[in-house]
Structure 1
Amino acid sequence: QPSGESRPIIDNGKCLSCGKCIPRCPLGAINDKIEFIPMSRFLDSGIPVYAAVAPAAAGQFGRGGTMGKLRSALKSIGFADMLEVALFADMVTLKEADEFNKLVKSEDDFLITSCCCPVWVNLLVRHYGTLYERLTKTVSPMIASGRVIKTISPVCKTVFIGPCVAKKAEAKHPELKGAVDYVLTFSELAEVFRALDIDLERMPEDNKEQSSSGGRTYARTGGVSEAVRVPLERIAPGRTVEFKAIQANGVTECKELLDKIKSGSLEANFIEGMGCEGGCVGGPRTNIDTAEGRKCVEEYGSRASFTNPIDNINVRQLLKHLEDLEKEHFDRLLLR
């Protein structure tokens, strides 16, 4: 909004943390805080540092820069290991399917997702408060990854790597902080690799099959809806209320969708919103354009051994590993 000094100022009460203003500022006066330097001091401290990498990473570091090679590169600079956030998206998917089944009982009921997009959540909180109670109670895959990693390895640091500036604010949210210690963007990590002369395509493969196709395609618009549909059909095959999903991407389209909900003119009951056009593949800190990012994510998803989260044996093994936790404690790992 304009100020009395003929220069724009940021109204933090309305800001969605989407990061779109950063490249558009003609003076380059807006920037997000880079967290690599404070994070890097832990890489040789003896404290294990785990990288949780967003599924939108597919293709972001070169066509030959696979997840296995990215894992090798991160280990080479001091990370203990790399985990795919898509694995935790699989866990979140099962939780959302269960939540939908319990909450959407009539034709008038609906559930708002996507928990994975902080811009969408901020839009609801700051501009559509009356709809906020309809938002899923499930945390984002990023927060789920940090909480689960720290449950298994309490003395560690967690670093989320993704395309999103808003994730930096999400990690520091009073209700969510502590799960993820640092957030790096794809563009920041690319600069680190250049500075260290790391060519991802020349790194050795260190493959670990962790996630399903459904978890991997969270990175583009419609991915969450598609992922939730199959588990819902499996856990509640006799549902009388049909699963009817609709998606919006980009802030303008998201607002239009939420306005339709408020007016009562929307017939869908599973509402998916992504703050960036195209979804996470269109984030402000990507290294490739949105169309190429979507193509790479689709290919990444098609190579998964598991089609859907409910069939992912890694999710079952992870849940078994956590079975000694009290149910209430485990539920809190995945809930806001």
Structure 2
Amino acid sequence: MQPTVLEQIGKRKEDNVVYTVTANCQDCYRCVRFCPVKAIKVSGGQACIEDDLCIKCGTCVRECPQNAKTIRSSTEEVKALLASGRKVAVSVAPSFAAVFDGWRTTRIPSALRRLGFEYVSETAEGAKLITEESFRSTTGGNICTACPAVVNYIEKYRPEHLDSMIPIVSPMVAHGRALKKRLGAEWAVVFVGPCAAKKQEALRPEHQDAIDAVLTFTELLDWLEQETIDLSTCTESDFESYGVLDEARLFPLQGGMLKTGGISCDGTEADVIHVSGAEDVMELLRCRHGNGSS
């Protein structure tokens, strides 16, 4: 039997979504101290990521002062897709507005088209698709998250909560499938977002029909620089869109799923708890388990 993509990941450290550039590691062990799940071990004076323990949250990448912890680049993979002759669509996470703020927000669609993408759209469309289903599926005491790092954490460290998770895909996966249904299965779909864990999510066997490659915003910025595409020279343009997105663009914010569903996130209109950040999520799940909630 042929190994799955996930089983193949890890044969080389560079194949892991997050890995250590050993030549840059200066034995400061800052990553060891900050890893929320203690997935970094010291061996031979090097702080190395234990991939089977890692939840791909990216904390070590942010904290490492030497850039020894890095996210596997998919830029060449995407360039190959664009050069292959296939039509390629791009799904851009709503958080792009925090990276490309101000006047740059309206230039990103044109910049992406200059890179070669034929269809440029917002992942917020996927957020609209899943939110209604999420609230329809909940019966109380459920866990609903679009964060693959949280899913990884529950699967690896809190499996007792698996049955409480609403079986809904993330906006990225929902949007990828919707685009292929709308445009045609022959199209490739590339997701652009802020999170390393999205790369792992796209590789899961059950999601490989949705997303062909994932770029981080950092990769996109570097690629634009390599191609000497200056946003100031790009014209203002819109994303291709089906319907009005409105609150769906707030999805990545704390309480954003509730706002997308038309529910006040102050807790007065629904019996909900919304948390973000590794420490708060882990604490909530610990308390939930300790109280025997379901």
TM-score of the aligned structures, taking structure 2 as reference length: 0.78
The alignment of Structure 1 onto Structure 2 pairs a total of residues equal to: 248
User: Aligned Cα RMSD in Å?
Assistant: 2.2
Query: In 1, are the aligned partners of 2:109 and 2:237 still within 8 Å (CA)?
Result: yes
Structure 1 residues 81-106: Cα deviation after superposition (integer angstroms, max 9, x where no partner): 11110011011111112112xxx1xx
Instruction: Show the 5 A alignment for 1:75-154.
Output: 75-100=113-138, 104=139, 109-114=140-145, 116-152=146-182, 153-154=184-185
Distance 2:109 2:45 in 1: 48
Corresponding residue to 1:244 among 263, 271, 274 = 271
Corresponding residue to 2:103 among 61, 64, 75 = 64
Corresponding residue to 1:47 among 86, 97, 104 = 86
Name the aligned partner's letter for residue 137 of structure 1. P
Query: In 2, are the aligned partners of 1:164 and 1:185 still within 8 Å (CA)?
Result: yes
**What is residue 254 of structure 1 aligned with on the other side?**
281
**What is residue 73 of structure 2 aligned with on the other side?**
34
Corresponding residue to 2:200 among 146, 169, 182 = 169
Tell me, yes or no, if structure 1 residue 195 matches structure 2 residue 238: no
Distance 1:229 1:245 in 2: 13
Query: In 2, are the aligned partners of 1:97 and 1:229 still within 8 Å (CA)?
Result: no
Query: Structure 1: 5+ residue runs without aligned partners?
Result: 232-241, 270-336
Query: In 2, are the aligned partners of 1:74 and 1:81 still within 8 Å (CA)?
Result: no
Q: How far is 1:36 from its partner? A: 1.1
TM-score of the aligned structures, taking structure 1 as reference length: 0.68
Query: In 2, are the aligned partners of 1:229 and 1:243 still within 8 Å (CA)?
Result: no
CA 201–92 in structure 1, closer or farther in 2 if over 3 Å, else same: farther
Match of 1:72, SS?
helix
Query: In 2, are the aligned partners of 1:85 and 1:141 still within 8 Å (CA)?
Result: yes
Query: Structure 2: 5+ residue runs without aligned partners?
Result: 1-39
Match of 2:209, SS?
coil
Instruction: Show the 5 A alignment for 1:1-16.
Output: 1-3=40-42, 5-16=44-55
Match of 1:28, SS?
coil
**What is residue 225 of structure 1 aligned with on the other side?**
258
Name the aligned partner's letter for residue 7 of structure 1. Q
Q: Which stretch of the first structure deviates more once superposed, 34-43 or 120-129?
A: 34-43
Structure 1 residues 115-138: Cα deviation after superposition (integer angstroms, max 9, x where no partner): x20011111111110111111111
**What is residue 235 of structure 1 aligned with on the other side?**
none
Q: How far is 1:24 from its partner? A: 2.7
Structure 1 residues 18-47: Cα deviation after superposition (integer angstroms, max 9, x where no partner): 111123335433222111112112324331
Percent identity, please. Answer: 29
Query: In 1, are the aligned partners of 2:127 and 2:260 still within 8 Å (CA)?
Result: no
Q: Which has the higher contact order (CA 8 A, sep 6+)?
A: 1
**What is residue 333 of structure 1 aligned with on the other side?**
none
Name the aligned partner's letter for residue 85 of structure 1. T
Query: In 1, are the aligned partners of 2:247 and 2:260 still within 8 Å (CA)?
Result: yes
Structure 1 residues 187-207: Cα deviation after superposition (integer angstroms, max 9, x where no partner): 111111122222224322222
